[in-house]
Chain A
Amino acid sequence: MKLRGRFTLTLALAALVPIALAAVVTTRSIAKSRREAYDESRKSVERKLLDAIDRREKEIEVAVQELVTTDNPFVGPLLRELVKGTADAWLRVHREEFRGQASALALDTLTITGPGLVGDDTVLVATHDRSAIDAEPQPAIRERANTTRGAAYFTREKKMTSSSIDTLLVFEVAELAHDGSTAVAIAASRRVSDDLLAIVRESSPFLVDARIVSPNGEVLLPSASRDWAELAGGDGPIRIPLLGPDRKPVAIVEAAVSDPGLDELLWKVALTAAALALVALGAVVVLGLFVARRTARDLEALVAGSLAASRGDLDHRVPVRSKDEIGAVAAAFNFMLEDLKTSKDRLVIAERIAAWQEIARRLAHEIKNPLTPIQMAMDTLRKSYKKQHPEFAEILDESTTTVLAEADRLKRIVAEFSDFARMPKAELARVDLNDVVRGSLALHQGAIPVETDLANDLPELDADKGQLNQVLLNLVANARDAIGEREGGKITVRTRRGEGADRALLVVEDNGPGVPAELKDKVFAPYFSTKHGKGGTGLGLAIVHRIVSDHGGRITISDAVGGGARVTIELPLRDGTALLASRI
């Protein structure tokens, strides 16, 4: 993984792990706190319902107390009419007034039973159901009055509505009102309506809903929520029985407290954490990429500097952008290059001095060799002339021939040195190496055959065609000289694609005597030659080495299979910088 990736990943982990830990801790803390609040809410709901039921019971008890006194403007006259036996006529006129009385006391039903058409429990007044009047007897009201003695209870009462008979759940109070021996039973009730349940219904922070069911589970007052089962799941509903006159449950208030907000809250926390993590991740990635890019850019600058240095560009400098460690490395690198350049310059000067000494030595040596025959020829000529040697003419001819020959030799030596010194800079163009081989060998004339083995998949490369030509001719000439007069001498020129596929190989192989191991490091040095005295100047392989180096290539010499020497040249298919970079 590259530096950028590692750096970014490390930063991301550093950002995400604390956020995740914080989210977990927060979630657990919230859940615990909510649970405590939830338990308190359940208790509060139960208290509210009990208080509301108690309050309503007391209210209706007070209302009925107003009715049962003989001072009541409706019940009092009714009792007196019953005593007189004229209640039927009186009720015919005044019955509707009880409806107003019930309305004034906010009663939903007001039933009065007493002596009448169908016995002592005839319904005389029924504000909620006129069809009950003088219908079947209702002894239950008197019985309840005797049993409960004015205490409120719950019951289910039938009431005629605009279109049908509905059974209502009511708070009811039954009492007896007397006038002497005449009594009527009064039952007054208020409907248990949704407002009882509404006092506990809320939606925040907990979802609280309530309903009323009969003991056998029939829903009498539905919950506001559609999905009661889901609401009442978990801890189950709070159940408060509503007791009838016989103290048995007539109905049950069920209140459900649900905390759907907890899941939502936890979800929000998780979502917030995720969002934070995402934002942090984004920031970290951006920051990481920025920092890594800066770092990588500085490192890449160092790499480029290294490559430049490897190419010998010791003037290259890496920019120092910061004062941190990377900046220090860059500064140190620049200092190192500066130092190297200084060392190299000194080395070059030293080498140049050594080269010039060698050249001077070689030149002196080369020049000294012809000078001796010249000097001896001229001395012989002068002496023979002074002596009037009879063979002076022959001596003259021989001496001048020798002087001219040595002068020619001196001239050639000077020309070779001049050529080496003036060798031009390579001019690169797209070149097919195989074409170079074919073109060069077409010019080759000699007794020793040259075989070629050229690769078909070799792409073009950037090179100076003329210099490559010279390289090949030098190597072939070298091989030819090495083979000399040997029988069966053979030279093979081969092209191949290098192992890394980014270089081309040019191999010249002969079956001559080969190169001794101790000379393999020296053969490319200028003026090294095994052919001194045979016309060799020792510059041929030095020129080859320099041309190859100028192309960013490499040259090695090794033993050929079956004897002989093998010279291998590696040339980059890209430019030299890329070739070097690929080796790093």
Chain B
Amino acid sequence: MPDHPGEPIIRVRGLVNRFGAETVHDGLDLDVLRGEVLGIVGGSGSGKSVLLRTIVGLNRPVEGQVEVFGRDVLEMSDRQRRELENRWGVLFQDGALFSSLTVAQNIEVPIKEYYDIPLQLMDEISAVKVGMVGLSEEAGEKYPFELSGGMRKRAGLARALALDPEIVFLDEPTAGLDPIAAGAFDELIRDLKTSLGLTVVMVTHDLDSLFAICDRVAVLVDKKVRIGTLEQLLKDNHPWIHSYFHGPRGRAAQHSEVRALTKQEARSAAPV
């Protein structure tokens, strides 16, 4: 695990979210550091997606402060918001591709909105993105309903990456994918993170991807967040966190991670 000297790029303070009588977040604090992959986990209904939606400004909290790049998201003008919005990308759960546009056109939507670029070059850029997320060339001319779930997620990621954002928000990126596709998606995120210098915030249920790519994990318990590296959280004795990481699935994911690491070490040691 690398160190995190990075400054906080997202800072959430005293967040309160309430729907009717039900309080989802109560005084939640969260820092996301530049260049890290942060996983957000929690039980069903614990408000993971609400937290994500609040940070990107789709949900207005009852109380609290959300700062992204050092600026208050809740207090900014529309113009400032637009400037902010081309510095982040969001991948929604099922891709949320515009159904009347092809994949290539979907990717071009944000580019067209913000920049005046010749058509030919724009087509090339969108084709580069299609390739980067591991879709075949033909996928660019397909409509969303012609794609499988995994391909839709990749296409959604390509659209989220269209403007080379600094932060990417992923809402359950591997949910509904088969283990091979999920593993490939994890790898893709990791590759893109190193090559593009992304900060990644992902809501996930997938223990394998937590162990595989997350630098730190934020656990939503008791309407607040407990954040730490996996090693720290594995030692946490909060009952929910303990049963999450030490339940049968948590243990299996840990073991497979250990196995993968030892295999990797063995491989890198072999040629010497």
A and B physically associate: no
User: A interface vs B, CB < 8 Å?
Assistant: none
User: B interface vs A, CB < 8 Å?
Assistant: none
